[in-house]
Structure 1
Amino acid sequence: MTEKSHIFFVEDDLSFGAVLKSYLELNDFSVTWVDDGKLAIEKFRSGKYDICLLDVMLPNVDGFTIGTEIRKLNKHIPFIFLTAKNLKEDVLRGFNIGADDYITKPFDTEVLICKIKAILSRNSQNPAAQIKEEYQLGRYLFQFRLRTIQIDDHQQKLSPKEAELLRLLCENKNELLPRETALKKIWGDDGYFTARSMDVYITKLRKYLVSDSTIEIKNIHGSGFLLQVDSTEN
């Protein structure tokens, strides 16, 4: 029998929290539930978890703040925001913090289970032998495992998703990377909100690579992205 995946769950609605916790446990997950935002970080520090489910609108400390602190403590643990807030600004803020998904209430609990399993499955599958460690992009050296890009004496640290996206672009250098391919491989979903999140990450990567004019990430309208490196320039 395999060990159950452990979910760190933060939700202040006692009725909803109790129902969802029971449903997750019925689906063979172990769940630690915290109902007050100010207690969340201390509880997270004291346990070992595989994924986090975070409500946004919480008493004392909101879910965005908790997500930010969790990302400082653990750069790799995936988390999902559960919230009634569906404004574009809130969704983008959630993804910018590093969330793997942003689900608005009310939602289908079966869909939530599928999303959790998909995220956990992606995290557990790590075909290291098939992934290059380093990529040379013009004057930049991209080290995928270390999640850094370096030019001269300047080094930029990347988030896990930034590194994954840049790796896919490198693997398809000077060729089209279809939008759907990147979304499904990294986010496991090609919906509207994840597509907007990827656009944010593309913008960040462009800024990181701005010091070498031979490198350009082009947006091919309606199709995807093209990492173009002009080797004819010095």
Structure 2
Amino acid sequence: MYPILIVEDEPDMLMGLKDNLEFEGYRVDLADDGEIALKKISENRYSLVLLDVMLPNISGFDICKKARIQGVNTPIILLTARGEEIDKVLGLEFGADDYITKPFSLRELLARIRAILRRTQNVSNSNTPSKVQIGRLLMDFSSFEGFVNGSVVKMSHREVEILQYLWNNRNQIVSRDDLLDKIWGTDYQPTSRTIDNFILKLRQKIEEDLNYARIILTVHGVGYRLVN
């Protein structure tokens, strides 16, 4: 079954999550310290990481950022007591795939986990060509890696999912509602700002000139179109 790392410094929360996830059939590893968590994330292959933001030594935001810099593309769900939109956007900017605000229900958390694992599996098993050239980005969907001029660029699972969906529907208009439904699902809806941030990050990797996008076009009032 899928191995999941739980990173949480509150003992009751840590053991409660462990017991419930093991009951659901997941293999669970634990860390209650930021430095230990970063080491485990770097050295092991997990299907998903549940990462508390407020940790000793290194914050969850910094762990996420450092893991992505190291090339780790394991899906990360941030667990945060903060509800402000800026904190949520910041986590996504650092490479998190999702976030859930404490207190949360076990049912909601399990739904988020299943949704990410399902989408990850769908990307791995899709009929999309393994490697495609999209603008200046050479995308390897099989390894979740992108290359620009031979150098590896960071790609989160969410970025890969969005790019793959746009590629599979290239030269067609993909509505915002369709993108929300296919990528985020019905259990969770991001803000328009979140979607815009992901599109911007993809354009930074793909476009030659961000001031004049030629590959991922905005169809005002509707959605996006990938031209290739």
Query: 1:6 maps to what in 2?
Result: 3
Query: 1:211 maps to what in 2?
Result: 209
Q: Distance in 2 between matches of 1:167 and 1:214?
A: 18
Query: 2:139 maps to what in 1?
Result: 143
CA drift of 1:205 comes to 3.0
Letter in 2 for 1:95: L
**Would the alpha carbon gap of residues 30 and 171 (structure 1) be closer, same or farther in structure 2, given more than 3 Å must change?**
closer
CA drift of 1:157 comes to 2.8
Q: Distance in 2 between matches of 1:226 and 1:156?
A: 25
Structure with max Cα Rg:
1
CA drift of 1:214 comes to 7.4
CA drift of 1:81 comes to 0.2
Structure 1 spans left out of the alignment, 5+ residues: 230-234
Q: Distance in 2 between matches of 1:84 and 1:93?
A: 14
Query: 1:202 maps to what in 2?
Result: 199
Q: Deviations over 1:44-85 (max 9, x none)?
A: 345442210000011221111111233344533111001111
Q: Is the 8 A contact 2:64 2:94 kept in 1?
A: yes
Letter in 2 for 1:13: E
Q: Helix, strand or coil for the counterpart of 2:190?
A: helix
CA drift of 1:173 comes to 3.4
Query: 1:193 maps to what in 2?
Result: 190
Q: Distance in 2 between matches of 1:182 and 1:75?
A: 25
- 4+ aligned runs moved over 6 Å, structure 1: none
Letter in 2 for 1:66: I
Q: Does 1:127 align with 2:125?
A: yes
Q: Distance in 1 between matches of 2:137 and 2:75?
A: 27
Match of 1:105 among 82, 102, 106: 102
Q: Helix, strand or coil for the counterpart of 2:51?
A: strand
CA drift of 1:156 comes to 7.3
Q: Distance in 2 between matches of 1:111 and 1:29?
A: 16
**Would the alpha carbon gap of residues 69 and 136 (structure 1) be closer, same or farther in structure 2, given more than 3 Å must change?**
closer
Q: Is the 8 A contact 2:68 2:154 kept in 1?
A: no
Q: Helix, strand or coil for the counterpart of 2:225?
A: strand
CA drift of 1:133 comes to 4.2
Q: Is the 8 A contact 1:7 1:51 kept in 2?
A: yes
Q: Is the 8 A contact 1:183 1:194 kept in 2?
A: no
Query: 1:223 maps to what in 2?
Result: 222
Q: Give the TM-score normalised by structure 1.
A: 0.78
Q: Helix, strand or coil for the counterpart of 1:193?
A: coil
Q: Is the 8 A contact 1:148 1:157 kept in 2?
A: yes
CA drift of 1:127 comes to 2.9
**Would the alpha carbon gap of residues 36 and 142 (structure 1) be closer, same or farther in structure 2, given more than 3 Å must change?**
closer
Q: Is the 8 A contact 2:5 2:49 kept in 1?
A: yes
Q: Does 1:157 align with 2:153?
A: yes
Q: Is the 8 A contact 1:64 1:97 kept in 2?
A: yes
Letter in 1 for 2:175: P
Q: Deviations over 1:183-206 (max 9, x none)?
A: 333334574436433210212233
Once the two structures are aligned, what percentage of the paired residues are identical? 35
**Would the alpha carbon gap of residues 192 and 141 (structure 1) be closer, same or farther in structure 2, given more than 3 Å must change?**
closer
Query: 2:86 maps to what in 1?
Result: 89
Q: Is the 8 A contact 2:180 2:189 kept in 1?
A: no
**Would the alpha carbon gap of residues 223 and 54 (structure 1) be closer, same or farther in structure 2, given more than 3 Å must change?**
same
Q: Distance in 1 between matches of 2:71 and 2:201?
A: 21
Bigger shift: residues 167-176 or 19-28: 167-176
Q: How many aligned positions are there?
A: 222
Q: Is the 8 A contact 1:11 1:35 kept in 2?
A: yes
Bigger shift: residues 4-13 or 163-172: 163-172
